[in-house]
């Protein structure tokens, strides 16, 4: 199957038929290594490790719960400008809700991410924490 980010239709049919297993890792568009943890694809090993940390914090009662891949509509004057998908949203016992994006140094500086981060703060009053 290789480490490509996409399968051919034939590869996918063979996977569904149980003739091959999904690769454990694959290469992402920014050179990151995508991984599977608990049957969930993560865009990077760093994001997967953060997920494991959140599971530990939740089981220890340090956080109430967390969600992955939460979509926010970024609308201005009732016009949808774009959508932002948060890597994680965390609910803390003190009532805080934290939006977290797991980014490398390079991708955090990309103009599209910087614009979405500014829109999240302007439209929803939500500051995105980068880890």
What are the structural domain ranges in the chain?
Answer: 1-31, 45-130
Distance (Å, whole) CA 83 – CA 14: 34
The candidate with the shortest Cα–Cα distance to 97, out of 120, 64, 60, is 64
Distance (Å, whole) CA 45 – CA 32: 8
SS3 of residue 120 by DSSP: helix
Is residue 93 pLDDT above 80, yes or no?
yes
Determine the pLDDT at residue 73. Answer: 97
Least confident of 36-40, 62-66, 96-100: 36-40
Is residue 17 pLDDT above 60, yes or no?
yes
Ranked by mean pLDDT, which of 13-17, 22-26, 103-107 comes out on top? 103-107
Q: Does the pTM exceed 0.85?
A: no
- Burial, 128: exposed, middle or buried (Cβ in 10 Å; 0-12, 13-18, 19+)? buried
The candidate with the shortest Cα–Cα distance to 43, out of 99, 104, 91, is 104
Does domain 45-130 sit in CATH 1.10.155?
no
Determine the pLDDT at residue 24. Answer: 55
Q: Is the dihedral of CA 77, 79, 85, 91 positive or negative?
A: positive
* pLDDT tier for residue 59 given thresholds of 50, 70 and 90: very high
């Amino acid at each position: 199957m290789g480490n490509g980010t996409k399968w051919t239709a034939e590869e996918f049919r063979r996977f569904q038929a149980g003739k091959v297993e999904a690769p454990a890792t694959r290469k992402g568009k920014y050179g990151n290594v995508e991984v599977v943890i608990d049957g969930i694809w993560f865009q990077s090993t760093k994001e997967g490790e953060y997920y494991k940390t959140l599971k530990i914090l939740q089981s220890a009662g340090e956080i109430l719960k967390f969600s992955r891949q939460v979509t926010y509509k970024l609308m201005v004057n009732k016009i949808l400008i774009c959508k932002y998908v948060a890597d994680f949203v965390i609910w803390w016992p003190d009532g805080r809700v934290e939006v977290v994006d797991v980014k490398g140094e390079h991708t955090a500086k990309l103009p599209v991410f910087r614009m979405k981060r500014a829109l999240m703060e302007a439209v929803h009053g939500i500051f995105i924490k980068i880890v």
